[in-house]
Structure 1
Amino acid sequence: MSLITWEISLYIVLAILAHVAVFVFVNRKRSKSIVNKHIVITGGSKGIGLCLAVECALRGANVTVIARDEKMLSGAIALMEVIRQRPEQKFQYRCLDISSSFEEVEKCLTEVEHTFGDIYMLINCAGLAVCGVFEEVPLEDARKLMDVNYWGTYNCTRYVLPKMKKAKEGIIVITASQAALFGIYGYGPYAASKYALRGMAETVAMECKHLGVSVTLALPADTNTPGFENEQKTKPKETKIISGSGGLANPDTVAKQILNDALNGKFISILGFESWLITLLGGALFRWNGIYENILHAIALGPLRIVGYILHLHFERIVRNCAKEKAE
């Protein structure tokens, strides 16, 4: 290995260690309490959404879960009842397709506020994934991805935002994915829907921060959920190889990270070194948390551009190799 390569490697390692030190010592502020607060979670019947509902219940919140499957919603409520922290703690569910009209979403959220009070925290976790080569994804699937992932989140966020601004408090979580940072083979329409969420989160955060409302953009990598299992059914071989290199996260761990970051007022929520690296490379204009993190990112970003270039070369090689296999 050449001297220059060693210097670059050392530079990256030192930057990472410095980042870890700042993360540990600077970001030690106390999380907001959600005891007796009303939290609404879309997609709260399974996967990361269910884990978030459980974690909120464990912290004493009054929780509303929203999804389409009533049987699974009933199961989510039963699970939260088992871990109830206070006698007066409340749980409820509503069956709703969040991609329906805004009027339907407005009606549902008005009802849940009538029973549990104003929504303090909205966690947008409902979504779906359909993979495939861009022109081979059925048009109805491409439209459904935008309807659920983008418009569903838009509808719920649009309802709570004016109320939170007026109250000068509130938290909104928008769950995108690492696919919101750069496009990968086989993720065309799905990535587009997640990029849209990224743009929404950045815009809403800028519009309401001065009014006491915080926005957290969650960027989870592949996570071991029912949604991921369904995603695998349509995922091309190339996509499986590329995305599989990052491993599979535990939904409980992801949920705890998202909730902690949201309650600490962080704009970005990520888990693990690989996600941090991809997010740093793909989100230079993100509003990272605090001057110290931004300074360290500025130091690290130059050398890490080389890492980004190498990653793209690696992914392109995978696509070429798979194309050769298909041709044989």
Structure 2
Amino acid sequence: GGHIVNISSIAGFLGVFGYSAYCPAKFAVFGFSQVLRSELKRYNIHVSILCPPDTDTPQLEMENKIKPEETKAISGNAGVMSPDDVAEAMINGMLKSKPVIVPGLNGKFVLYASRLIPSVVEWVMDREIKKFS
């Protein structure tokens, strides 16, 4: 047995303005992980997908310098997590063999809302984007 954790993002299940290259890559990680989970289950190998929100790292600091204002408005609603909190959520998710690990309440809300009421989520994002048109 064992456990594989692939790193996706909230942008792995929600298309976000300004991330036309990033989102498809993270969507692919999500799909790849689902397939792996199915294929490796018989070998008692668990596969989880970690989908953190923005995480307080040097990468985010650099990204924020060039991020479009529309994207800042949208991603600002999800909040920023510390790397330690993301790591703790990942470990807790692994211990519970969760297939999808989304740290933080805001991230979980976005996941469930995007699945259950996608038109509302799109309306909220579109409303933020229109502020800059």
Shift of 1:170: 1.1
| More RCO (CA 8 Å, sep 6+) | 2
Aligned with 1:231: secondary structure? helix
- CA deviations 1:253-311 (Å, max 9, x no partner) are 1101101211321111112222112222445xxxxxxxxxxxxxxxxx4xxx2xx4333
Does the 8 Å CA contact 2:114/2:121 hold for their aligned counterparts? no
Provide the C-alpha distance between the structure 1 equivalents of 2:41 and 2:68, rounded to a whole number of angstroms. Answer: 40
Give the conservation status (yes or no) of the 8 Å contact 2:33–2:49. yes
Equivalent residue number for residue 27 of structure 1: none
Match of 1:321 in 2: 131
1:311 maps to which residue? 121
What TM-score do you get using the length of structure 2 for normalisation?
Answer: 0.92
Unpaired runs of 5+ residues, structure 2, are none
Paired position in structure 1 for 2:24: 192
| Distance across 1 between alignment mates of 2:91 and 2:20 | 29
Is 1:181–1:278's contact at 8 Å kept on the other side of the alignment?
no
Tell me the residue number matched to 2:33: 201
> Which residue does 1:275 correspond to in 2?
107
2:48 is the counterpart of 1:216: yes
Match of 2:94 among 259, 262, 279: 262
Structure 1: state its 5+ residue gaps: 1-168, 284-300, 324-328
Show structure 1 runs of 4+ deviating over 4 A.
none
Letter in 2 for 1:315: M
Give the corresponding residue for 1:244: 76
Instruction: Give the secondary structure class of the aligned counterpart of 1:216.
Output: strand
Match of 1:235 in 2: 67
Query: Aligned AA for 1:249?
Result: M
Match of 2:58 among 220, 226, 230: 226
Q: Name the aligned partner's letter for residue 55 of structure 2.
A: T
- RMSD, matched Cα: 1.4
Aligned length: 133
| CA displacement 1:66-109 (0-9 Å, x = unmatched) | xxxxxxxxxxxxxxxxxxxxxxxxxxxxxxxxxxxxxxxxxxxx
